[in-house]
């Protein structure tokens, strides 16, 4: 006798539930029930052993009710049924992402090291104006080149460059729209919460069914969805934190909404926006490693190889390379943020 038989018997739903058919070996409880005996035990023992009325527990008493597996199977079938229609819409929209990633990978790979490294150092100097940071970046890149990890590091940097740039291009306008509309903010916050808390591997599950594993847009979409959240949130926060008195002064000068946005709000919110860009870059780098499971090139491939083949040295050295890239990207963006803060703190006459 199932635990929750009394619910369906008392409600007169036994005929609707149908006859329970055993699909496995006979249990001791069923043997005792068949012999006209009852299980021993006090009321409190039975109460402590009472299972939660979940789908599987209720299905034991009423086979007409779905099991948990039936629910997950229905979700899977629903997704597979809509897959072809989704592909028709998403393939043309996301194909440019594949082209961008393929182009960036080709560019970073085709550019010789003696040209690429100086270009990176010039960019670092332009962003930070720090000779010490330029020296550190040069040392890190030369070390990665010396241990034959240069090409893998450039592949990782190319993916981060494309995905982080797209995160900023799409994320900043979304954050601006949220700051200008409370309704938009209420709509976006649950979506951002979901994207921020969803486990990284879960991002890959629907994308694997929608796109081929050989298509770069598969891991590109996963990286963008995972990394776009900080720049959206901090853009919204930065604009909302702009001093109300400054906005009132802009209104007194007769500025339009567009003028206030570009001349007042965005410049004052730039430190928060840059902090969001920093976090977006860091999250892009974290997701690149996970995306190596679905053919994303770069240092993550070596980490995955070390795990699969139990090659401790390969995994640890590749992990060190990822740490060096993370430190480089973090220090450069923070130095740029410090320059922005310093320029904003200088009084203007």
Task: Identify the band that residue 315 occupies on the pLDDT scale cut at 50, 70 and 90.
Answer: very high
Query: Which of 336 and 121 is assigned the larger pLDDT?
Result: 121
pLDDT at 16: 77
Residues 56 and 94 both lie in one domain:
no
pLDDT at 44: 77
Query: Which of 61 and 93 is assigned the larger pLDDT?
Result: 93
Residues 223 and 281 both lie in one domain:
yes
Q: Using one digit for the tens of pLDDT, what is the confidence trace for 260-285?
A: 999 999 999 999 999 999 999 999 99
pLDDT at 66: 83
Give the span between the Cα atoms of 347 and 344, in whole angstroms.
Answer: 8
Residues 53 and 120 both lie in one domain:
no
pLDDT exceeds 90 at position 204: no
Residues 16 and 102 both lie in one domain:
no
Q: Using one digit for the tens of pLDDT, what is the confidence trace for 140-156?
A: 999 999 999 999 999 99
Give the span between the Cα atoms of 205 and 246, in whole angstroms.
Answer: 47
Q: How many domains does the chain fold into?
A: 2
pLDDT at 58: 81
Query: Which of 68 and 34 is assigned the larger pLDDT?
Result: 68
Residues 272 and 325 both lie in one domain:
yes
Residue 337: closest CA among 283, 281, 270:
270
Task: Identify the band that residue 20 occupies on the pLDDT scale cut at 50, 70 and 90.
Answer: low
Q: Mean pLDDT score of the chain, rounded to an integer?
A: 87
Residue 140: closest CA among 336, 323, 271:
323
Query: At a CB cut-off of 8 Å and minimum separation 6, what does 55 contact?
Result: 65, 66, 67, 68, 70, 71
pLDDT exceeds 50 at position 349: no
Q: What is the DSSP letter of 208?
A: H
Task: Identify the band that residue 171 occupies on the pLDDT scale cut at 50, 70 and 90.
Answer: very high
Cα dist. 282→91, 275, 341 in Å?
28, 11, 20
Residues 121 and 61 both lie in one domain:
no
pLDDT exceeds 80 at position 37: no
Q: What is the CATH number of the domain that holds 244?
A: 1.10.3720.10
Which tokens in the block code for residue 168? 């900023």
Residues 35 and 139 both lie in one domain:
no
Residues 97 and 22 both lie in one domain:
no
Residues 57 and 88 both lie in one domain:
no
pLDDT exceeds 70 at position 166: yes
Query: Which of 329 and 84 is assigned the larger pLDDT?
Result: 329
Last residue of a domain, one of 44, 65, 86: 65
Task: Identify the band that residue 7 occupies on the pLDDT scale cut at 50, 70 and 90.
Answer: confident
Residues 38 and 184 both lie in one domain:
no
Residues 50 and 105 both lie in one domain:
no
pLDDT exceeds 50 at position 229: yes
Q: To the nearest whole percent, how much of the chain has pLDDT over 70?
A: 91
pTM: 0.84
Cα dist. 68→62, 75, 115 in Å?
14, 11, 58
pLDDT at 25: 54
Please give the residue range of the domain that contains residue 292.
73-345
């Amino acid at each position: 006798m199932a635990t929750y038989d009394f619910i369906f018997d008392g409600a007169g739903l036994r005929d609707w539930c149908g006859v329970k058919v055993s699909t496995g070996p006979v249990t001791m409880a069923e043997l005792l029930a068949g012999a006209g005996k009852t299980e021993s035990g006090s009321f409190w023992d039975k109460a402590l052993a009472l299972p939660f009325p979940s789908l599987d527990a209720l299905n034991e008493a009423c086979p007409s009710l779905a099991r948990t597996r039936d629910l997950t199977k229905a979700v899977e079938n629903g997704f597979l049924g809509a897959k072809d229609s989704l592909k028709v819409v998403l393939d043309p929209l996301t194909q440019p992402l594949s082209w961008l990633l393929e182009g960036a990978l080709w560019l970073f790979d085709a550019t010789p090291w003696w040209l690429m490294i100086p270009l990176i150092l010039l960019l670092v100097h332009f962003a930070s104006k720090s000779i010490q940071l330029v020296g550190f970046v040069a040392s890190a890149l030369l070390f990665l080149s010396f241990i034959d990890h240069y090409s893998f590091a450039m592949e990782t940097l190319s993916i981060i460059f494309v995905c982080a740039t797209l995160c900023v291009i799409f994320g900043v306008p979304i954050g601006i729209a949220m700051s200008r509309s409370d309704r938009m903010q209420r709509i976006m916050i649950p979506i951002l919460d979901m994207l921020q808390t969803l486990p990284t591997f879960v991002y890959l599950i629907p994308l694997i069914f929608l796109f081929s594993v050989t298509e770069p847009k598969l891991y590109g979409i996963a990286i963008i969805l995972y990394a776009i959240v900080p720049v959206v949130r901090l853009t919204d926060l930065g604009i909302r934190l702009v001093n109300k008195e400054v906005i009132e002064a802009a209104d007194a000068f007769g500025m339009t909404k567009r003028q206030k946005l570009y001349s007042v709000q965005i410049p004052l919110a730039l430190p928060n926006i840059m902090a969001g860009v920093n976090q977006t870059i860091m999250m892009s780098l974290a997701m690149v490693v996970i995306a190596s499971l679905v053919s994303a090139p770069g240092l993550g491939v070596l980490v995955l190889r070390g795990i699969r083949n139990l090659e401790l040295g390969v995994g640890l050295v590749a992990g060190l390379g990822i740490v060096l890239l993370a430190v480089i990207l973090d220090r450069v963006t923070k130095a740029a943020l410090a320059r922005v803060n310093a320029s904003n703190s200088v009084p203007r006459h």
